[in-house]
């Protein structure tokens, strides 16, 4: 998102998830909304993530839709091709359902998986071309980060204060 790319704000680095969580709490108490706050983490941090968004990830709907689409495609493809040019093989019925099951299953998994991938990319805004100004390479290594994005100078200094207050290793101004 262009807002993310061109934004500016304050970043704090933390040693642990607990510190990070405290920072998020403190920021919210200070009046920052989850939309303003981005947390960076080298590991998945489920409770923090939920805390920041409350909503369950919509990826599951994509998986479901993709899967169902695959099931239908599988059924349609097999039955339609049986019908398109009926050829008798092995004395079997020219439109046999059991064999459709295999194709339906495979396409369910295939399209389900591809839709899941699409969903994760879309919702995670990936691939992304710009860098979040709050990001620091150590956030993929050992540190956690909290970035408050705000263009307002006052809000920035408030955020800086809050981050300092919860024991950030380092707090700095970050701009794209």
Residues 91-130 within binding reach of another protein (CB under 8 A): 91-92, 96, 99-100, 102-103, 105-107, 109-110, 112-114, 116-117, 119-121, 123-130
Check: CB of residue 14 under 8 Å from CB of residue 145: yes
Q: Which is nearer to another protein, 25 or 153 (CB)?
A: 25
- Report the nearest approach of another protein to the CB of residue 171 (Å): 14
Q: CA 19 to CA 26: how far, in whole Å?
A: 10
Q: Which is nearer to another protein, 116 or 173 (CB)?
A: 116
Give CA–CA dist 17/23, Å, rounded: 10
- Shortest distance (Å) from residue 108 CB to another protein: 8
40 binds another protein (CB under 8 A): yes
| Residues contacting 100, CB < 8 A, separation 6+ | 74, 75, 78, 79
- Please list every residue from 155 through 174 that binds another protein, using CB under 8 A: 165-167
Decide if residue 71 touches another protein (CB under 8 A): no
Neighbours of 151 (CB within 10 A): 12
């Amino acid at each position: 998102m262009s807002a993310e790319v061109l934004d500016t704000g304050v970043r704090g680095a933390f040693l642990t998830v607990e510190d990070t969580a405290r920072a998020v709490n403190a920021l919210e108490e200070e009046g920052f909304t989850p939309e303003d706050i981005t947390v960076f983490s080298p590991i998945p941090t489920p409770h923090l993530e939920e805390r920041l968004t409350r909503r369950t990830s919509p990826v599951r709907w994509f998986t479901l839709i993709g899967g169902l689409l695959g099931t239908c495609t599988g059924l349609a493809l097999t039955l339609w091709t049986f019908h398109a040019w009926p050829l008798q093989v092995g004395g079997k019925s020219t439109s046999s359902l059991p064999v459709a099951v295999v194709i339906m299953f495979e396409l369910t998994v295939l399209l389900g998986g591809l839709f899941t991938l699409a969903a994760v990319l879309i919702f995670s805004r990936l691939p992304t071309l710009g860098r979040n100004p709050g990001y620091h390479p150590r956030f993929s290594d050992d540190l956690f980060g909290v970035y408050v994005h705000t263009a307002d100078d006052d809000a920035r200094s408030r955020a800086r204060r809050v981050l300092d207050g919860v024991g950030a290793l380092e707090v700095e101004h970050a701009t794209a």
